[in-house]
Chains A and B, each alone.
Chain A
Amino acid sequence: MKQLFLLALMSVAVSSVSAEDPTPRIEVSVTIPRLNVSEYHRPYVAVWIQDKNRKVVANLAVWYQLTGRNKDEGTKWLPDLRQWWRRSGRSLEHPVDGVSGATRPAGEHTLRFTGDEKRFAGMKRGDYELVVEAAREVGGREMVQIPFSWPATKTSTQTQSGETELGDVSLTIR
């Protein structure tokens, strides 16, 4: 009984801690599928949040070839991320601080953010979409979207799957 009471007390304490810290946490996981192809290059991937008018409100990540013999040579293929390039990429200076990163191998990659980061400053209460776009040299291109409301009223995880260039994409907001 005493133990149970303690447990209850602890759980109250835990939940009150999270209540005191209302900063939302955003977790995005992107799975790059392992492909059985004769010539494989890691895909370029862009991850962003857009509003109902497809206006980009926050860039979360863009993975592309950051190094090379010539400076910025990897940026040549950024327009292959067609939607992201149109909606955001073409107006940015590359690399973008806190957004640009090297290409990643096949497997699951998790990105974690806190809601008080500057990139989310423009996100008013409303409906948004997480978009992940992948384009692979001598391969295909695919986009996966996950709609969500901001801020979240309770912790939720949503998962969508790509069919060719992307595996599972999931979004958790707590």
Chain B
Amino acid sequence: MTRFLLSTLAIAVIGTTAFAHKVWLRPSQTQLSGAEPWVTVDAAVSNDLFYFNHFPLRLDGLVITAPDGNQVQGENQSVGKYRSVFDVPLHQQGTYRIAIVNGGVFASYEQGGQRRRFRGSIESLEKEIPADATNLRVTERLSRIETFVTNGAPTDEALKPTGKGVELVPVSHPNDLYAGEESTFRLLVNGKPAEGLEIELIRGGTRYRNAQDEVHLTTDANGEFSVTWSEPGMYWLETSTEDKETSVPQATSRYLSYAATFEVLPQ
């Protein structure tokens, strides 16, 4: 119990610095057609949705899955002051899954009576933590930030779960969302439906209203949740959880986070 409390505390502490902002991908369009359609995607970290005014989202973990299940490269990648950008030519018909998947560690320790923190890759942990560090606490993290775009009719191949971390599988297709309708999705943790995940859902355009107007949802026994879209717009969804399936021996727990952007069209 103490250990659980401490690890939650660690997440809470680190969380306020690392995760208070919203991380997001915003595609220029989600339903496309034409001889050679392209989407361009903004990637940023900010408080307001979907405005880039704080930090760019690094593109190191960019994974784009094409409708046939193969991975394709993001073109024209650029990391700017406030946002990153990349383009995706949609050569295939069907749904693309565009994700930034990052793994790493948070660590906190004491050295010479001073409390220190470290955040970085799993590989760098060994060499970055000094040998005389005491009270070392390490939390592994795995995050997935994603969005979906479709050329022509929606397909499911690219949405097959990888079995790692938090993932969303469609009951309703993420590129078939319309205002006034109810949509259902299933959330998986490490490939298995996860009950009791707490979800926050916010419609974009927050700069032009006084409240976040966030919606809180919880997954049921099948890992499913449903939402009725009150208005059209770009929506941002976030959830997180933790498990013990760490790949770093020093880590006692693993923090799993998920964020996705959905476009809801008017009727």
Report which A residues bind B (CB closer than 8 A). Answer: 70-73, 75-79, 82-83, 85-86, 89-91, 94
Q: Which of B16-24, B29-37, B46-54 contacts A (4 or more CB under 8 A)?
A: B29-37
Would A90 and B35 be within 8 Å (CB), given that A82-B265, A82-B266, A83-B267 are in contact? Answer: no
Of A72, A79, A82, A89, which one neighbours B35 at CB under 8 angstroms? A72
Binding site secondary structure of chain B: loop
**How far does the Cβ of A85 sit from chain B's closest Cβ, in whole Å?**
7
Shortest Cβ gap from A72 to chain B (Å) = 4
Summed over the interface, the residue pairs from A and B with CB atoms below 8 Å come to a total of 41
Residues 142-184 of B at the A interface (beta carbon under 8 Å):
150, 152-154, 176, 178
**In the complex, are the beta carbons of B31 and A90 less than 8 A apart?**
yes
Q: How large is the interface on B (under 10, 10 to 19, 20 to 34, 35 or more residues)?
A: 10 to 19
- Which 3 A/B pairs are nearest by Cβ-Cβ distance? A76-B34, A72-B35, A90-B153
| Other-chain residue from B33, B36, B176 in contact with A79 (beta carbon distance below 8 A) | B33
Tell me, in angstroms, the Cα distance from A75 to B176 when the chains sit together.
19
Residue of A nearest to B151 (CB): A90
Would you give 7 A-B contacts (Cβ < 8 Å), ordered by A? A71-B35, A73-B35, A76-B35, A77-B33, A78-B34, A79-B31, A90-B150
- Name A90's closest neighbour in chain B (CB-CB): B153
B47-95: which residues lie under 8 A (CB-CB) from chain A? none
B34 contacts A91, C-beta separation under 8 Å: no
A75 near B31: Cβ-Cβ < 8 Å: no
Contact B153 A75 (CB under 8 A): no
Task: Please give, as numbers and ranges, the residues of chain B lying within 8 Å of A73 by CB-CB distance.
Answer: 34-35
Note all chain A residues with C-beta closer than 8 A to B178: 86
How many Å from the CB of B264 to the closest CB on chain A?
Answer: 12
Closest to A89 in B: B33
- A47–B265 Cα distance when bound, in Å, is 20
Nearest Cβ distance between residue B126 and chain A, in whole angstroms?
51
List residues of chain A with CB within 8 A of the CB of B153: 90-91
Q: Are the CB atoms of B152 and A91 closer together than 8 Å? A: yes
**Whole-angstrom distance between the Cβ of B77 and the nearest chain A Cβ:** 24
Whether A75 contacts B34 by the Cβ 8 Å rule is yes
Distance to closest chain B CB from A80 (angstroms): 9
Question: Which residues 107-154 in B have Cβ within 8 Å of A in the complex?
Answer: 150, 152-154
Evaluate contact between A85 and B33: CB separation under 8 angstroms: yes
Chain A residues near B150 (CB, 8 Å)?
A: 90
- Asked whether, in the complex, the Cβ of A76 is within 8 Å of the Cβ of B267, the reply is no
Q: Are A75 and B33 in contact (CB under 8 A)?
A: yes
User: CA A110 – CA B33 in complex, angstroms?
Assistant: 28
Residue picked from B31, B150, B152, B176, most chain A C-beta under 10 Å: B152
Q: Which residues of B contact A78 (CB under 8 A)?
A: 33-34
Residues 171-206 (chain B) with a chain A CB within 8 angstroms: 176, 178
A94–B266 CA distance with the chains assembled, in angstroms: 24
Is there contact, CB below 8 Å, between A85 and B31? yes
Residues of chain B lying within 8 A (CB to CB) of residue A91: 152-153
A82 proximity list for chain B (CB < 8 A): 265-267
A85 to B266, CA, bound (A): 13
The distance from the CB of B80 to the nearest CB of chain A, in whole angstroms, is: 27
